[in-house]
Copies of this chain bind each other. A is one copy, B any other.
Amino acid sequence: MSNDAERPAARPTITDVARHAGVSKGLVSFALNDRPGVSAETRARILASARELGWTPNLRARSLSVDRSYALGLVIGRSVDVIAADPFFHSFIAGVESEFSTAGQVLVLAQATPGREETATYRGLAADKRVDGVFLSDLRAGDDRVALVRELGLAAVTLGRPDVESPFPSVSVDDGRGIRAAVEHLAALGHRRIAHVAGPSTMLHGRRRAEAFTTALVAAGLEPTAIIETDFSAVDGARATRELLGLGADRRPTAIVYSNDHMAFAGLAVAQRAGIHVPHDLSITGFDDTELARHTFPSITSVATDAFDWGARSARLLLATIAGQPVDDVELSEPRLVVRESTTTAPESESARH
């Protein structure tokens, strides 16, 4: 039952446009991708025909022809629950897409699932050439993904500088600066026993924040105190807090710097449950400046970074890389400490001590 005679709203092709404009397909292509070799007059005529016919190049055909997918990929690691809590991705993605509006690109989001591990996900993306490049986020210590992605021939940008040899440009923010600001803020408030609830040391940003914490402590002339490692989850943040608050009265911290807001929330609850008043008995700071940090009681002092901008800059950099343009690493604006109610002067007994 085919009625080839009367085409049912078939989409026009480059051939139709060529015929309509009275030129060859090749010329239409040249005119479209404004390349030299087409007289201004002819180009105008071709473009007019294209518009009149409502023609838009077929992406699949173009894709096959030029061997590009016009898509970028972001694969999210396996620990869904930990990631789920992280509002970072939403803003980051919004930033990425803000660059797409003009570029005609698309974002392919892949999440490693029980049935498909991370490596397999990257391989699949590369095998099917689903994307032209990927964003490497949540860098790990000695991250094997940079070698993998390189081997797969994909372009990439890393979010943060990896600690392994990398051929990819990076977009980073100085997390340490934020942690340092938090520590200085607390030290200025008279705190002398400041602890840190860190992210996993296997993750670069978790590790760097912890290192910055130690450095800042030293710089402030304070003695090293407890640093408890977690997996960035709320449960783990709660556990770490219980551990810290369980220390003898003379070792218990008067302030805790959390590596992310979620753990700070959980920590706040643990303290309150134990009858420890925040901020009078204990000051706390978070990281990420989540919307919720403004809506807890007390509201939480936190380090704010610009995830949207991170996404936008990363996308621009990746697109430039793919286009073969020379690129440089980019350093984002410094994170800033947003002081709220969860931090105040150290408890009397403490500040009076020296």
Q: Which A residues contact B (CB, under 8 angstroms)?
A: 56, 58-61, 63-64, 67, 69, 71, 80-81, 83-85, 87, 89-91, 93-94, 97-98, 100-102, 104, 106-111, 113-116, 124-125, 127-130, 233-235, 237-238, 262, 265-266, 268-270, 272-273, 291-292, 294-297, 299
The answer, among B98, B111, B270, for a CB contact under 8 Å with A115, is B98
Within the complex, the shortest CB–CB distance from A338 to chain B, in Å, comes to 16
Inter-chain CA distance A47–B44, complex, in Å, is 51
B59 touches A61 (CB 8 A): no
A130 touches B106 (CB 8 A): yes
B87 touches A104 (CB 8 A): no
Q: Which residues of chain B come closer than 8 Å to A80, judged between CB atoms?
A: 90-91, 94
The answer, among B84, B113, B234, for a CB contact under 8 Å with A97, is B113
Q: Which residues of chain B come closer than 8 Å to A127, judged between CB atoms?
A: 56
CB-nearest residue of chain B to A87: B84
B104 touches A107 (CB 8 A): no
The answer, among B59, B107, B130, B238, for a CB contact under 8 Å with A128, is B59
Most B C-beta atoms less than 10 A away, residue of A61, A102, A297 = A297
Q: Which residues of chain B come closer than 8 Å to A270, judged between CB atoms?
A: 297
A265 touches B296 (CB 8 A): yes
Given A60-B63, A101-B113, decide whether A81 and B129 contact each other with a Cβ distance below 8 A: no
A291 touches B85 (CB 8 A): yes
Most B C-beta atoms less than 10 A away, residue of A81, A84, A91 = A84
A-B pairs with lowest CB-CB distance, top 7: A84-B90, A101-B115, A269-B297, A266-B295, A101-B116, A59-B128, A272-B297
B111 touches A109 (CB 8 A): no
Inter-chain CA distance A58–B85, complex, in Å, is 37
Given A111-B93, A113-B97, A127-B56, decide whether A291 and B81 contact each other with a Cβ distance below 8 A: yes
Q: Which residues of chain B come closer than 8 Å to A234, judged between CB atoms?
A: 291-292, 294-295
Q: Which residues of chain B come closer than 8 Å to A291, judged between CB atoms?
A: 81, 84-85, 233-235, 262
Inter-chain CA distance A108–B84, complex, in Å, is 18
- Give 6 A-B pairs besides A84-B90, A100-B113 with Cβ atoms closer than 8 angstroms: A60-B63, A97-B110, A107-B108, A269-B296, A269-B297, A269-B299
Inter-chain CA distance A125–B91, complex, in Å, is 21
Q: Which residues of chain B come closer than 8 Å to A266, judged between CB atoms?
A: 292, 295
Inter-chain CA distance A98–B93, complex, in Å, is 21
Given A60-B60, A64-B61, A90-B84, decide whether A295 and B114 contact each other with a Cβ distance below 8 A: no
